[in-house]
Structures are given as C-alpha cells and as structure tokens.
Amino acid sequence: MTELATPPVERDQDVKRISHWIGGRAVEGQSGRSGPVYNPALGRQTGEVDFATREEVDLAVQTARKAFPAWRAMSLSKRTALFFAIRELFDHQREDIARFLTAEHGKVLSDALGEVARGLEVIEYCCGIPELLKGEFSEQASTGIDVYSIRQPLGVVAGITPFNFPAMVPMWMWAPALACGNTFVLKPSEKDPSASVYTAELLKEAGVPDGVFNVVHGDKVAVDSVLEHPDIAAVSFVGSTPIARYVYETGTKTGKRVQALGGAKNHMIVLPDADIDMAADAAVSAAYGSAGERCMAISQVVAVGDAADRLVKAIEERLPKIKVGNGLEADVEMGPLVTREHRDRVASYIDGAREQGADVLADGRENTPEGEGFFLGVSLLDNVTPEMDAYKDEIFGPVLGVTRVGTYDEAVQLVNDNPYGNGTAIFTRDGGVARQFQFDVQAGMVGINVPIPVPVAYYSFGGWKNSLFGDSHVYGPEGINFYTRGKVVTSRWPEPATSKVDLGFPQTR
Ligand code: NAD
C-alpha cells in the first residue's frame, strides 16, 4: 500500500476568525466552541469559525422575524429592482466569490467560477418574481362572486448546506426564499463558511435590509436549534443521506415544511453504439471534476457488451493528462480533497476494492503533487461488482468504478436497484433506446449523452429514493412553491348604488 503523508497541521499566526452575521453585521460567537477551516491545497489552517449556541440561533431567528413584515410588504416592483441589483453585484464580484471557494474548498478556480455562474442563473430566474407569484382569477364563479388565488411567503425560513458547493447551494435557497418575501437564516458548512459571510456582505451592499439575511455557523447544536425552533416555518437541507433523513424527520416532527436532499451514486451507462471518445471525455470530467466532490459526479460507469474494453482504454489514456495541484494555478484541472480525513477515507476505498476483487488500473496515491495539501490523484477501478464497498458507498472523491454488464436491461436494473436516485446518464446513438431509458430509469435527473444533467434554473433540481426526503425539489417552480403557501379568496361586493351615484358614464348592466 502507498502511504500518504500526514504532517501535523500547521496553525498560522494569522488564522482569521469567521463570525456569525445577524441583523446586517458580523456578530462574534460567545459559545467558546469553534472549528478549524483549512486551505486544502496548502494543508494549513487559515480560519477558525464560531459555532453557534441555541441562544445565538434564536437571536438570528428573532432578528429575521422582526425584518419579515416590512420585507414581505415591499412591492413586487421594488423587490424585482433589488434582485436586479443583487444580480449585478454578484456578477461583478464573481471572481472574488470564486476565490473564497478555491481557498477553503480547494476546487480549481475555473470550476469555482462555474459554480458561481450556475448560482447566478437562479438569481436571474428570481428577477422574474412578479411573474412567478401570479395567481389565478375566476370572475363570476357564482352570481356576483369572484374567486382568486394568491401565494404568500411563509415567514422565517432556514437553509442548511454542504461543503461541496459553498456559494451555489445557498443561492438555490436564499434567492427564491427572499424573492418570495421570506426572511432567511443560513447555516452553511463549517468546513468552508467564508463564502456565506461574503454573500451576506454583498446582499447588504446591494440594498437588502438588515435582518432579512442572516448566517449562523456551527455543527449539530446549530442544526438542532434550527430544526426545533418554533419560529422557523421551513427548512431546506442539502447534504449526505443520513443527515438528510435526520433533518427531514426532526424538522417535520416539529411541524415544519422540509425539503432534504441527500447523497448520490450516479451511474453512467455506455452502450456499444456510443461515441466512445465522447463518452470517455464525459466520464473523465464528470468523475474527476471538483475532485469527485459533486453530488452529480459520475462515480460508476456501467459499460455494456463490447463497449467496455474500448471505453476503459479511452479513459485510461486520458488520465495522465489530468494535472492535479493548487486550484489557483492556471493549468491545474483538479484540486485537493476538502480535508485530510476525507482524503484518507477516499483513498481507503482503493485498497478495499483491490482486496474485494476489483482491478486497480490507476491508484491516485501514486500521482499526488508534492507538499502538504490534501491531494489525491485520480483512481480508476475496473470489474467493480455491486457487492463491493466501492460500489455500495458514496465515495465522494476522484475514484471512478467500471462495472461490466452484458445488456441494456442489466444496466438499467443496476441503476434501479441502487438506493440512491439523484442523477444518471446514458451514452448511445440510438434515440429509441435513449427514450426508453428516460421512461425506465428511477432517478430524478437524467442525461442523454450529457454526464451531469443539472437542470437549468427554470426547472427544479432533485433526486429520487435516498437522494431526497420530502416531496419538493429545489429552485425553479418547485422552489417558488416550497417558499410560499397558497390562499384562495372568494369575494362578493354589495351591488353598486347606481341609482344614487352618478358614475359619469352609461351603465350597461
Ligand atoms: P453533511 O451531511 O456532512 O453536512 C451537511 C450539513 O449538515 C452541514 O451544514 C453540516 O454542518 C450539517 N451536519 C453534519 N453532521 C450533522 C449532524 N450529525 N447533525 C446535524 N447536522 C449535521 O454533508 P457534506 O459532507 O457537507 O456534503 C457532502 C454530501 O452532500 C454528499 O453526500 C453529497 O452527495 C451531498 N450533496 C447532495 C446534493 C444534492 O443535491 N442531492 C448536493 C450537494 C451535496
């Protein structure tokens, strides 16, 4: 086995303190509890983030509650203008946001810019909020009676987010929540919290009133305080499956609306008639991009029939070209893993797979860059079978498994038997088979010759099975529904006293 270097983590003199953001300003935590934040490319601690107490979460919620009446009363045209200002500011600052992501998450700068761009699309969608909130109207439902529907905000809503998209996933939540007239409390990942504080600063600069958007940092204590808080109406969660299940069960028990998106194991099926070069390019970018730390990463290729040898060879040929290193360097394509512990856990699957009978065609420990960063190169495992841990678990790192099957039916069966159902893809030139696949497959997001089918902002994002708890996907039309509740008004007005009042024009009634 190849050993990875595990030097002691060096703590810088100038480790910055990362505090909560409540009521339009930074608020230092009083709990005495905090967590380290690293620059994973340097393997060095760069920050110390405060962990909130129950009282600090309550302060954020009460602040958001106070800000709610004025925020929800702001006219749609004013809120729209504000959203255009937010869009402009975030667009202008996109590189600064991206640099926070590279510094604390480790993803390469181009990928970080891509994350911001996808988040911006959701903000742009929210600029159309007057159209999205339009209700329906039925005149003369009964004699003299009109019926109409309106959608109103819920109040204070909360978001709990994962480490792997520290800017975009919060945008999936706060943008539609605020656009609908709610106020917001964000509990970001404690591993890379700075982008959330920067988001708060930008929203203030754009003109969002104090108290409308708040950030509390922390761990389980903060999450439980959110889930149990009586003044929070709804919780959006994105993270791993066990925590998603816990958040859904705990939040709904206290009467909240909850959408909880969980983990994934995304399969990409490659049929014998596929364009093998296209499929190999797609597998490589979807498996190793962002070091495999994407919930829509392809972690398992299912090669059908004689596609297998050609595909594996084409993937292998591409691996030496992937440059691993510090994401701030221009030609680097893959950065480090988020923490040393996570890197070591991911690496343990390589030996595990070998011991369980897989062929290790590339071992990421043999191509890591020098230095103390949490690096792991790309790994490729062939002849992976469903009993192996590398198949069953969400590895969440740059490890791609290949499973060989004989037929399309066997391939679809594998995907459908998997407990996760986030994304999946098929590579083929046969339109009929592709259409059958979209009919057969049990997953929330399907790609046809597209490896990472993240929906555009005017559709909604979400998986099936253990990848989603609740019945609502995030952003897009389902996001607007999630953050509002419907009201139907039935109205009758007294007959106008036309005989007494001169309306100044002829009456036709
Ligand atoms: P995680 O579940 O460890 O953490 C997510 C959030 O939950 C964080 O804010 C964290 O502080 C909090 N948390 C962690 N442990 C907790 C506990 N015991 N009790 C209460 N709260 C707790 O996830 P992560 O490691 O930050 O992110 C990676 C995971 O997120 C992967 O499984 C990935 O597939 C998933 N993910 C899913 C999607 C999706 O859309 N389905 C998107 C991105 C990430």
What integer pLDDT is reported at residue 498 of this predicted model? 66
Spatial distance between the Cα atoms of 295 and 420, rounded to a whole number of angstroms: 11
Among the atoms of ligand 1, which is closest to the Cα of residue 474? Answer: 40
- Distance from the CA of 329 to the center of ligand 1, in angstroms? 28
Mutate to test the pocket of ligand 1, among 163, 298, 466 (most ligand atoms within 8 A of CB): 163
- Distance from the CA of 188 to the center of ligand 1, in angstroms? 10
- Distance from the CA of 262 to the center of ligand 1, in angstroms? 7
Among the atoms of ligand 1, which is closest to the Cα of residue 342? Answer: 25
- Distance from the CA of 239 to the center of ligand 1, in angstroms? 3
| Backbone dihedral angles phi then psi of residue 14, each to the nearest 5 degrees | -105, 50
Among the atoms of ligand 1, which is closest to the Cα of residue 295? Answer: 34
Among the atoms of ligand 1, which is closest to the Cα of residue 219? Answer: 11
Of all protein residues, whose CA lies closest to atom 42 belonging to ligand 1?
Answer: 295
Pairing of strands 44-50, 34-39: antiparallel
Spatial distance between the Cα atoms of 475 and 372, rounded to a whole number of angstroms: 38
Packing angle, helices 76-92 and 194-206, rounded to 10: 130
Question: What is the full per-residue pLDDT of the chain (509 aa) written as tens digits?
Answer: 344 444 334 445 689 999 999 999 999 999 999 999 999 999 999 999 999 999 999 999 999 999 999 999 999 999 999 999 999 999 999 999 999 999 999 999 999 999 999 999 999 999 999 999 999 999 999 999 999 999 999 999 999 999 999 999 999 999 999 999 999 999 999 999 999 999 999 999 999 999 999 999 999 999 999 999 999 999 999 999 999 999 999 999 999 999 999 999 999 999 999 999 999 999 999 999 999 999 999 999 999 999 999 999 999 999 999 999 999 999 999 999 999 999 999 999 999 999 999 999 999 999 899 899 999 999 999 999 999 999 999 999 999 999 999 999 999 999 999 999 999 999 999 999 999 999 999 999 999 999 999 999 999 999 999 999 999 999 999 999 999 999 999 999 998 876 565 666 665 54
What integer pLDDT is reported at residue 504 of this predicted model? 67
Q: Who contacts 401 (Cβ-Cβ below 8 Å, separation ≥6)? A: 299, 300, 301, 353, 358, 381, 384, 390, 391
**Please, what's the largest Cα pairwise distance for the chain?**
97
CATH of domain 16-262+467-489: 3.40.605.10
- Distance from the CA of 164 to the center of ligand 1, in angstroms? 9
DSSP state of 330: T
Of all protein residues, whose CA lies closest to atom 19 belonging to ligand 1?
Answer: 220
Q: Who contacts 119 (Cβ-Cβ below 8 Å, separation ≥6)? A: 90, 165, 167, 168, 170, 171, 172, 175
DSSP state of 474: B
What is the domain partition of the chain in residue ranges? 16-262+467-489, 266-448
Mutate to test the pocket of ligand 1, among 18, 107, 161, 243 (most ligand atoms within 8 A of CB): 243
Of all protein residues, whose CA lies closest to atom 22 belonging to ligand 1?
Answer: 220
Same fold, 16-262+467-489 and 266-448: no
| Backbone dihedral angles phi then psi of residue 63, each to the nearest 5 degrees | -65, -45
What integer pLDDT is reported at residue 496 of this predicted model? 86
Among the atoms of ligand 1, which is closest to the Cα of residue 396? Answer: 31
Extract the tokens encoding 495.
């007959």
- Distance from the CA of 116 to the center of ligand 1, in angstroms? 19
Spatial distance between the Cα atoms of 195 and 104, rounded to a whole number of angstroms: 9
* Active-site annotation holds for 295: yes
Sheet of 44-50: strand order equals 10-18, 44-50, 34-39
- Distance from the CA of 463 to the center of ligand 1, in angstroms? 15
* Pocket, ligand 1, Cβ cutoff 6 A: 160-165, 169, 187, 189-190, 219-220, 223, 238-240, 243, 261-264, 295, 394, 396, 422, 463, 467
Of all protein residues, whose CA lies closest to atom 38 belonging to ligand 1?
Answer: 295
> 467 and 136 in contact (C-beta within 8 Å)?
no
Mutate to test the pocket of ligand 1, among 294, 295, 345, 346 (most ligand atoms within 8 A of CB): 295
Of all protein residues, whose CA lies closest to atom 21 belonging to ligand 1?
Answer: 220
Mutate to test the pocket of ligand 1, among 223, 246, 265, 468 (most ligand atoms within 8 A of CB): 223
- Token look-up 């594996």 returns 312
- What CATH architecture is 266-448? 3-Layer(aba) Sandwich (3.40)
CA distances for 483 relative to 172, 188, 256, 261, 416, angstroms: 12, 19, 12, 16, 31
Of all protein residues, whose CA lies closest to atom 18 belonging to ligand 1?
Answer: 220
- Distance from the CA of 37 to the center of ligand 1, in angstroms? 16
Among the atoms of ligand 1, which is closest to the Cα of residue 242? Answer: 2
